Amino acid sequence: MADRPASDISARGNLPPLELHVPEPPFRPGDPVDYSYLEIPAAGLLPRPDEACAAKETHPLCDGLIRVMGDDHCAVGAWDPKLDPETLRRMLRVMALTRAFDDRMYRGQRQGKTSFYMKCTGEEATSVASAFALADDDMVFPSYRQQGILIARGYPLTEMINQIYSNRADKLKGRQLPIMYSSREHSFFSISGNLATQYPQAAGWAMASAIKGDTRIAASWIGEGSSAEGDAHAAFTFATVFNAPVVFNIVNNQWAISSFSGFAGAERATFAAKAVGYGIAGLRVDGNDALAVYAAMRWAANRARSNGGPTLIEHFTYRAEGHSTSDDPGQYRSAHEREEWPLGDPIMRLKRHLAALGEWTEDQHAAMDLELIEQVKAATKEAEKNGVLGHGMHHPFHTMFEDVFEELPWHLEEQADQAIRERRTKWPEWKES
């Protein structure tokens, strides 16, 4: 038996008291913004390892930044996906359509047509270019800011607006918060709202695809803030253990509502670097460079589809607008950040690239923008025929109780009767339309 304590660390008198580190973003409201501390390598510098390489060959890329479009707007380097101009124009159009849609829906919320909206301004490439790099039947497990994927896959805008308005044509029967879409037909998984829960689900879906000897892969998106959730760790662990054909995307847009990326660990390591500890492939990409995003996703998708296993892609980008219509970023960050963001705007960059190729003009772009505004306007009008939120044109009352279970149990049938009775008590003339 020891006659004295095991530890001999007693001489602590000379040490300063312990200090808690609470991260603080570099800029607050009113501050001038200087992003010169960010390491932004020139385009075209990084090597592109073979898609079948050992995961650790990619790990140096986790501290770099894959960029394809240079300052002269030309595509350079090993990651240039060499897309044809027609594909580039389609990609540009979907990104611009996503932005036009966001602008219109944001205004709709301000006009009281719905309760809530979330824009993806500045992040369009992370969704749209990724969607272009996946097969249309690859299953995506999105977060709430990947409307670009749904639009890229041709989901009707009117259906999206019906959902946003929770009206009687809403395919989700008015049950979900606006923008929490779901479309099995478009291999677009039901959006949760609880953060990062879709990550282990994507791993599980990918495992199922492998169990069945399928050829489809899964891809999932979360923000850098929600990469702190335990679900992300669960997903990486399952994916690496079972070599699941899944691509994990972390959209690092610098802000999780009011918390800057430092609260998810960005002061110590990149988000792509998480791949290192799990032994999976990792890529870090300029999220405002649509060509780089496409190239990274294509690399990861090809790898997953050939039993090469999971890849983690960090998309380094900037959330140009508030978190949602319920947020005022002016309260916590400098308005100059958006102007000073060194990676520019994804739509403008792709536009200039196409122009540099001689495949696009300012006039064409202006005409396209007008056309897209009209397209969104027409879809909005169509959706409004089925009502906007709070104007009575919702799904029948009984639907509130359906789909809790496959079959309605007795207690829900009783509660449905009660809900309808209450309605009749308040409005004796009420009839379900």
Partner 1 sequence: MSVLEEGPVSLADAPVRRLNMIEAINDALSVMMERDSNVVVFGEDVGYFGGVFRATAGLQKKFGKNRVFDTPINECGIIGAAVGMGAYGLRPVPEIQFADYIYPGLDQLISEAARMRYRSAGEFTSPITVRSPFGGGIFGGQTHSQSPEALFTHVAGIKTIIPATPYDAKGLLISAIEDNDPVIFFEPKRIYNGPFSGNYDKPVEPWARHPDSAVPEGYYSIPLGKARIVREGEALTVLAYGTMIHVAEAVLADMGVDAEIIDLRTLVPIDIETVEKSVQKTGKVLIIHEATRTCGYGAELSALVQERCFYHLEAPIERVTGFDTPYPHSLEWAYFPGPVRIGEAVDRLLKA
Residue ranges in contact with partner 1 by CB under 8 A: 139, 141, 171-173, 175-176, 180, 182-184, 189-190, 192, 194, 197, 199-209, 211-212, 218, 230-231, 233-235, 237-238, 241, 403-406, 409-411
314 with 256: CB under 8 angstroms? no
If one counts every other C-beta atom within 10 angstroms of the C-beta of residue 9, the result is 6
Find the helix or strand (DSSP H, E) in which 222 lies.
strand 218-223
Residue 232 C-beta: closest distance to partner 1, Å: 10
Q: For residues 375 and 399, which CB has a smaller minimum distance to partner 1 in the complex? A: 399
DSSP per-residue string spanning 232-272? HHHHHHHHHHHT--EEEEEEE-SEETTEEGGGGTTTTS-ST
Q: For residues 37 and 410, which CB has a smaller minimum distance to partner 1 in the complex? A: 410
Q: For residues 191 and 368, which CB has a smaller minimum distance to partner 1 in the complex? A: 191
DSSP code at position 314:
E
Residue 103 C-beta: closest distance to partner 1, Å: 27
**How many whole angstroms separate alpha carbon 298 and alpha carbon 50?**
12
Q: For residues 97 and 180, which CB has a smaller minimum distance to partner 1 in the complex? A: 180
Residue 271 C-beta: closest distance to partner 1, Å: 20
**Residues 6 or more apart from 398 whose CB is under 8 A from it?**
416, 420
- The token duo for 249 is 């995307």
Q: For residues 189 and 318, which CB has a smaller minimum distance to partner 1 in the complex? A: 189
Residue 277 C-beta: closest distance to partner 1, Å: 14
Residue 194 C-beta: closest distance to partner 1, Å: 5
- The token duo for 417 is 């009767």
Q: For residues 69 and 180, which CB has a smaller minimum distance to partner 1 in the complex? A: 180
Residue 284 C-beta: closest distance to partner 1, Å: 25
**Residues 6 or more apart from 55 whose CB is under 8 A from it?**
275, 279, 280, 281, 282, 309
Q: For residues 54 and 241, which CB has a smaller minimum distance to partner 1 in the complex? A: 241
283 with 296: CB under 8 angstroms? yes
318 with 251: CB under 8 angstroms? no
Residue 279 C-beta: closest distance to partner 1, Å: 13
Closest CA relative to residue 74, chosen from 285, 291, 288: 291
Q: For residues 85 and 396, which CB has a smaller minimum distance to partner 1 in the complex? A: 396
**How many whole angstroms separate alpha carbon 72 and alpha carbon 234?**
42
If you search the block for the tokens 């959706």, which residue do you land on? 383
Cα–Cα distance list, 319 to 109, 244, 256, 277 (Å)? 19, 30, 9, 27
Q: For residues 108 and 200, which CB has a smaller minimum distance to partner 1 in the complex? A: 200
301 with 133: CB under 8 angstroms? yes
Residue 197 C-beta: closest distance to partner 1, Å: 5
If you search the block for the tokens 């997953």, which residue do you land on? 304
Residue 347 C-beta: closest distance to partner 1, Å: 31
Residue 130 C-beta: closest distance to partner 1, Å: 19
Q: For residues 126 and 209, which CB has a smaller minimum distance to partner 1 in the complex? A: 209
In 38-84, alpha helices (H): 55-58
68 with 289: CB under 8 angstroms? yes
Residue 411 C-beta: closest distance to partner 1, Å: 7
Judged on CB neighbours under 10 Å (0-12, 13-18, 19+), 93 is: middle
Q: For residues 139 and 320, which CB has a smaller minimum distance to partner 1 in the complex? A: 139
**How many whole angstroms separate alpha carbon 171 and alpha carbon 159?**
7
